[in-house]
């Protein structure tokens, strides 16, 4: 603001000492006649549109000038000034003294606190803009047009953004320009009206609260066939730089991650499938700007092994008693061969041994067959042949 002359300021003038009549009159006892005793109120003056107020014909002496009422919109000036009127000479008809007092305009401070809508914690990194709701005038002139952006502010570690520009009184609105990382954009608009709070208030402080919903992504690990939740798989989410954001082992309920950044790309990777399942392909997804839960589902297929017991010609051979052992020698499956291959699902990925416990009549027991269940959803075929 530029310096301007202010009307409506009320000043009181007090005698700073005992002040006697100017013509040196004396009473019957020979004492000078007192005009104003010390601390007596001499006069009150109010400034006009030129910012001035004048009093004439004061006796010589020392006076105090005190501001009683500040102009509308300004802060009370609590300091006082002394004015000394001293005789100059016989050729000076009047002694003129002036006092200048400067009032500070009442300041306006508008701040915004950003909170997590779920738990009320404060959030850094949100950017806000402050706009004039209507034309704002000062001194009869429009100094800010309606819908003009006056300034921006970003929330700090304490979750507060302060609009530091010297703001005039008037009506404003605040809107979010950029949501903090991990939170959904808000289209909420908050209106603020700032008016003069009286001469004893130096700064009018107004604080508003904005709440944002965090982003929510729900991850399901399910069986490809049944669609049911599949526990036991180890999963991780990485960002675009390959940094691990979260890792977990799937359970019977979906896994939820909050505050992933809107518009950024992430990858869901299965680092180890549940026993009997095949590692699924990674899923890349982009976080949407919505308060609704975004659902990501990764489906796992089971391993499939087909075991054929045949004669040397390749014909299926029934009647053989067969066993599958894991790498620790533990039996995981046993059966008697039929006229069709034996089909097994959900053998965990790894090394196994196919053993013939007894051969059909007329055939020799075959040697053990080592095989590996690979990480694939395709049918894996294992053949054991018996000689006659």
pLDDT in tens, 123-173: 999 999 999 999 988 767 898 999 999 999 999 999 999 998 888 899 999
Q: How confident is the model at residue 1 (pLDDT cuts 50, 70, 90)?
A: very low
Burial level of 301, CB count in 10 A (0-12/13-18/19+)?
Answer: middle
* Predicted local distance difference test score (pLDDT) of residue 65: 97
pTM of the predicted structure, to 2 decimals: 0.77
Separation of CA 266 from chain center: 20
Q: Please give the average per-residue pLDDT across 293-312, as a whole number.
A: 98
Per this entry, what is the length of the chain?
Answer: 388
Cα three-residue angle 229-233-235, rounded to 5 degrees: 105
Residue 321 has pLDDT above 60, yes or no: yes
d(CA 165, CA 376): 64
Assess whether pLDDT exceeds 80 at residue 13: yes
140 contacts: CB under 8 Å, gap ≥ 6: none
């Amino acid at each position: 603001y530029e310096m301007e002359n202010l009307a409506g300021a009320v000043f009181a003038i007090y005698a700073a000492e005992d002040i006697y009549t100017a013509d040196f009159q004396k009473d019957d006892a020979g004492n000078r006649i007192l005009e104003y005793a010390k601390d007596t109120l001499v006069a009150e003056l109010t400034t006009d549109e030129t910012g001035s107020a004048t009093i004439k014909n004061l006796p010589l002496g020392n006076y105090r000038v005190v501001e009683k009422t500040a102009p509308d919109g300004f802060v009370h000036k609590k300091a006082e000034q002394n004015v000394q009127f001293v005789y100059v000479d016989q050729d000076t008809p009047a002694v003129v003294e002036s006092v200048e007092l400067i009032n500070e305009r009442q300041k306006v401070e508008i701040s915004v606190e950003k909170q997590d809508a779920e738990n009320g914690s404060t959030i850094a990194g949100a950017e806000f803009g402050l706009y004039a709701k209507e034309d704002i005038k000062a001194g009869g002139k429009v100094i800010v047009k309606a819908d003009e952006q006056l300034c921006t502010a970003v929330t700090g570690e304490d979750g507060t953004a302060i609009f530091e520009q010297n703001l005039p009184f008037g009506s404003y609105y605040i809107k979010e320009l950029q949501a903090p990382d991990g939170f959904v954009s808000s289209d909420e608009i908050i209106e603020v009206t700032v008016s003069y709070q009286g001469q004893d208030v130096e700064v009018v402080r107004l604080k508003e609260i904005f709440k944002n919903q965090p982003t929510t992504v729900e991850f399901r690990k399910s069986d490809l066939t049944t669609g049911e939740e599949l526990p036991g798989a180890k999963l991780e989410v990485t960002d675009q730089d390959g940094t691990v954001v979260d890792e977990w082992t799937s359970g019977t309920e979906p896994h939820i991650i909050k505050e992933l950044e809107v518009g950024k790309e992430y990858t869901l990777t299965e680092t180890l499938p549940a026993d009997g399942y095949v590692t699924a392909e990674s899923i890349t997804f982009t976080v949407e700007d919505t308060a609704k839960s975004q659902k990501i589902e990764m489906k796992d297929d089971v391993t499939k092994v087909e075991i054929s017991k045949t004669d040397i010609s390749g014909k299926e051979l029934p009647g053989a008693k067969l066993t599958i052992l894991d790498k620790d020698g533990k039996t995981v499956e046993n059966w008697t061969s039929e006229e069709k291959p034996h089909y097994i699902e959900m053998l965990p990925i790894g090394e196994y041994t196919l053993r013939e416990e007894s051969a059909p009549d007329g055939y020799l027991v075959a040697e053990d067959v080592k095989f590996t269940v690979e990480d694939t959803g395709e049918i894996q075929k294992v053949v054991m042949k018996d000689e006659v």
